[in-house]
């Protein structure tokens, strides 16, 4: 079993420069360093003390389906009750609905600890929070009154029901039906891969289900979105009859065993009762509110598991004695952390984690600005920034999470391949993040096909201008030289991949290496920015991370420009 220690100092390094900007936003005026420290410390205690010890338990026991009832592993239901009672589920949501009203940036940092400690547990509030965001934007007054307080408090949980067996990523091919029946609809169909589609944490589960009305156009334009609760809700807010839906089976998965991934059947009898969210045939627009929220959280999962795996690797390397090395003129038994290749591996893991954290928190900071800013041009610029960053955060951080978990196994050597050490679980748990909420290849296509051209390319141009200005704040030396070369390569490659004269198939074939290059270069700038802003006591450490990253991680990424421009050429 691997131990988890919340990296509060590293988190504060990223958050501290953001706090004045967050406190300047309407509604966050009372935010200060002391409040943020208190929140992080309390969350860290719960993550390390309650959730982390359950991680291996959940992996071994898994969730099970017994007589139509999903049961979670020992300790998970109790931990969820403590989580909800402490108010953690409602951290970023409006106080008028029972939330804490804190910025998404702070909630993101807290969520990192949930996922590091116990990713399978953290998936439940992740989906609930996405559903809350959906209702806040598209729900009717009646829907908000019925569901929001219960979801925000954690008394009920939520899901996203998109995928169907025959359709996979092609959501537009879904066959789930919705037929109007008075003031509601009757839903029938099968959904797969439904995270926490059923469980024993709470009395009710509120499903957000995509379905098609009779006569609706084919493809995504004909899809509508519905609230379909496990138990119907009476006028007084109490639970009524069981709705016509059920978990058919649980998937047997590579990892995240404690998270019940359900095959859900809707409408086996008279049809599950559902309530339209937004407009008919407006389901995709509404669902993307949940998707963007979830994609940010998935990138965060990559960061979180990488941190947990890195800690395990550092601990093992500092304890494992192997071979002899010269020390003070004599040969002595050596810890493997003393070997140059292990040092290099651990440093590579560490600086990439720092870059991932900076990128993810930067996305959350842009989200807060997009939500809270009153000035319309600034608000639009912030929304453009988060739109641009989402595919980078989701894809790059989840890719890196898996790679760093693999590095942790390698540091352990043969013991990493043995389940008892616990590090293999991190590798298995990390793998799914590269797939769900849109595979990383889809994220790359989204970046190249939709995000770069937005606003005539203004969003990416604005970001590149900021990075160019950052170069002016850096001292002469290897960090500045490496980042300048990286930015020039990124600009040149961006010009190529957005050139409409280039064959579209070639441009899309280069999307994945382009995304990796883009995120890696941006991560280097964020590390350099952190070093520039760091206090005297952290200056040397921050600069060392930025220098290593620029010299070891950046060159392979910028070399991907050749792969991008090669397109589909054999």
Domain limits, the chain: 8-153, 157-285, 440-570
Domain 157-285 CATH assignment equals 1.20.1440.230: no
> By the 8 A CB rule, do 47 and 116 touch?
yes
pLDDT of residue 235: 94
**Cβ burial 349-376 (10 Å sphere, 16+ → b, else e):** bbbbbbbbbbbbbbbbbbbbbbbbbeee
Which among 460, 496, 438 has a CA at the least distance from the CA of 387? Answer: 460
Instruction: Tell me the pLDDT band of 172, cut-offs 50, 70 and 90.
Output: confident
Catalytic residue among 307, 354, 403, 437: 437
Paired tokens of 29: 């005026």
Q: Which residues pair with 210 in a beta bridge?
A: 225
318 pLDDT more than 70: yes
* DSSP secondary structure of 283-334: HHHHHHHHHHHHHHHHHHHHHHHHHHHHHHHHHHHHH-EEEEEEETTEEEEE
66: annotated active-site residue: no
pLDDT of residue 336: 94
Tokens 């009372």 found at: 30
CATH annotation of 440-570: 1.20.120
**Summary mean pLDDT of the chain:** 95
Q: How far apart are CA 484 and CA 478, in angstroms?
A: 10
pLDDT of residue 173: 85
Instruction: Tell me the pLDDT band of 167, cut-offs 50, 70 and 90.
Output: confident
pLDDT, tens digit, for every residue of 243-287? 999 999 999 999 999 999 999 999 999 999 999 999 999 998 888
pLDDT of residue 371: 94
pLDDT of residue 1: 59
Percentage of the residues of the chain whose pLDDT score is greater than 70:
99
pLDDT of residue 333: 87
Least confident of 169-178, 287-296, 547-556: 287-296
pLDDT of residue 286: 86
CATH annotation of 8-153: 1.10.540.10
pLDDT, tens digit, for every residue of 320-336? 999 888 878 888 889 99
pLDDT of residue 447: 97
Q: Which of 72-81, 277-286, 332-341 has the highest mean pLDDT?
A: 72-81
Q: How far apart are CA 331 and CA 340, in angstroms?
A: 17
pLDDT, tens digit, for every residue of 206-246? 999 999 999 999 988 999 999 999 999 999 999 999 999 99
Give, in degrees to the nearest 5, the angle at Cα 457 between 453 and 461: 140
């Amino acid at each position: 079993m691997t131990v988890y220690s919340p990296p509060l100092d590293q988190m504060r390094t990223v958050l501290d420069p953001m706090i004045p900007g967050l406190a300047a936003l309407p509604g966050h005026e009372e935010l200060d360093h002391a409040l943020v420290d208190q929140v992080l410390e309390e969350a860290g205690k719960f993550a390390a003390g309650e959730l982390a010890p359950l991680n291996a338990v959940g992996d071994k026991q898994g969730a099970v389906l017994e007589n139509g009832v999903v049961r979670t592993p020992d300790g998970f239901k109790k931990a969820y009750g403590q989580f909800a009672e402490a108010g953690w589920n409602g951290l970023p949501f409006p106080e008028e609905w029972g939330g804490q009203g804190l910025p998404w940036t702070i909630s993101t940092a807290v969520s990192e600890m949930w996922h590091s400690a116990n990713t399978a547990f953290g998936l439940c509030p992740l989906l609930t929070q996405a559903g809350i965001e959906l209702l806040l934007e598209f729900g009717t007054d009646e829907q908000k009154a019925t569901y929001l307080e219960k979801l925000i408090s954690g008394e009920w949980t939520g899901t996203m029901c998109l995928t169907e067996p025959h359709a996979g990523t092609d959501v537009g091919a879904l066959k789930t039906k919705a037929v109007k029946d008075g003031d509601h609809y009757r839903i029938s169909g099968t959904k797969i891969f439904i995270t926490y589609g059923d469980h024993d944490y709470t009395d009710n589960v509120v499903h957000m289900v995509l379905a098609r009305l009779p006569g609706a156009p084919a493809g995504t334009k004909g899809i509508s979105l519905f609230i379909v609760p496990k138990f119907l809700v009476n006028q007084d807010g109490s639970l009524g009859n069981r709705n016509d839906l059920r978990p058919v089976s649980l998937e047997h998965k590579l990892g995240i065993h404690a998270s019940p991934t359900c095959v859900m059947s809707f409408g086996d009898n008279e049809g599950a009762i559902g309530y339209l969210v937004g407009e008919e045939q407006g389901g995709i627009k509404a669902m993307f509110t949940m998707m963007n929220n979830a994609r940010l959280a998935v990138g965060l999962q990559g960061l979180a598991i990488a941190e947990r795996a890195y800690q395990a690797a550092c601990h093992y390397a500092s304890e494992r004695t192997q071979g002899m090395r010269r020390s003070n003129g004599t040969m002595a038994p050596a810890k493997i952390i003393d070997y140059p290749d292990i040092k290099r591996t651990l440093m590579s893991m560490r600086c990439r984690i720092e870059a991932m954290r900076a990128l993810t928190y930067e996305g959350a900071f842009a989200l807060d600005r997009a939500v809270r800013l009153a000035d319309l041009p600034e608000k639009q610029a912030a929304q453009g920034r988060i739109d641009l960053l989402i595919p980078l955060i989701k894809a790059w951080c989840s890719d890196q999470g898996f790679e760093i978990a693999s590095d942790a196994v390698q540091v352990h050597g043969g013991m990493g391949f043995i389940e008892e050490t616990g590090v293999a679980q991190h590798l298995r748990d990390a793998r799914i993040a590269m797939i769900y909420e849109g595979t990383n290849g889809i994220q790359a296509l989204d970046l190249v096909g939709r995000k770069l051209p937005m606003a005539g390319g203004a969003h990416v141009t604005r970001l590149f201008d900021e990075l160019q200005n950052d170069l002016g704040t850096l001292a002469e030396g290897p960090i500045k030289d490496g980042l300048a070369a990286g930015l020039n390569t990124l600009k040149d490659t961006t010009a190529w991949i957005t050139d409409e004269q280039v064959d579209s198939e070639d441009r899309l074939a280069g999307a994945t290496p382009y995304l990796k290059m883009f995120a890696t270069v941006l991560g280097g700038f964020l590390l350099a920015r952190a070093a520039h802003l760091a206090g005297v006591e952290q200056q040397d450490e921050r600069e060392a991370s930025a220098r290593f990253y620029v010299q070891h991680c950046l060159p392979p990424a910028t070399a991907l420009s050749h792969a991008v421009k090669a397109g589909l050429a054999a």
